[in-house]
Amino acid sequence: MSGCIVVRTKIEDTLGLIADREAQLRYQAEVPCVDVSTELFLQWEDWYRPDTEDFQGAFDPEEAATLRMFHQVFAVVRDTMIQGLPPIDQFVTTTAWKRLSGAACSALGLLRRSLQAA
């Protein structure tokens, strides 16, 4: 698999997880030693690398703009939660989570529509 495909797949998977409350709760139940609240942020930061060649090859300019918009929301939520994220079962009840999840859902929808149009 080329680097571009890996990056695109990982970004889509991460957005999918951030958007899906039930997937997050399932993940926590299946892997109790992982702090899923923190993992959501770490996964995004692992894969959102807009200055890399693989990232630039994976997304067209419109898709990259969509991801930048999501990242702006991500950064605001991350910065407001910097004092400490609650466990995932509590985090999913917060306004911050709803904002983050909604932005991920929107970004993922735009990426998928873009793929279907191609």
In this predicted model, what pLDDT tens digit does every residue of 34-84 receive, in sequence order?
999 999 999 999 999 999 999 999 999 999 999 999 999 999 999 998 788
The more confidently predicted of residues 72 and 112 is 72
Q: Which stretches of 81-94 are DSSP H helices?
A: 88-91
pLDDT at residue 16 tops 80: yes
How far is it, in rounded angstroms, from Cα 113 to Cα 67? Answer: 14
How far is it, in rounded angstroms, from Cα 70 to Cα 101? Answer: 10
How far is it, in rounded angstroms, from Cα 3 to Cα 102? Answer: 28
Confidence of residue 116 (pLDDT cuts 50, 70, 90): low
pTM over 0.85: yes
pLDDT at residue 93 tops 60: yes
How far is it, in rounded angstroms, from Cα 88 to Cα 49? Answer: 25
How many CB atoms sit inside 10 A of residue 81's CB?
18
Q: Under 8 Å CB-to-CB from 93, ≥6 apart: which residues?
A: none
What pLDDT was estimated at residue 81? 86
What pLDDT was estimated at residue 23? 98
How far is it, in rounded angstroms, from Cα 51 to Cα 83? Answer: 28
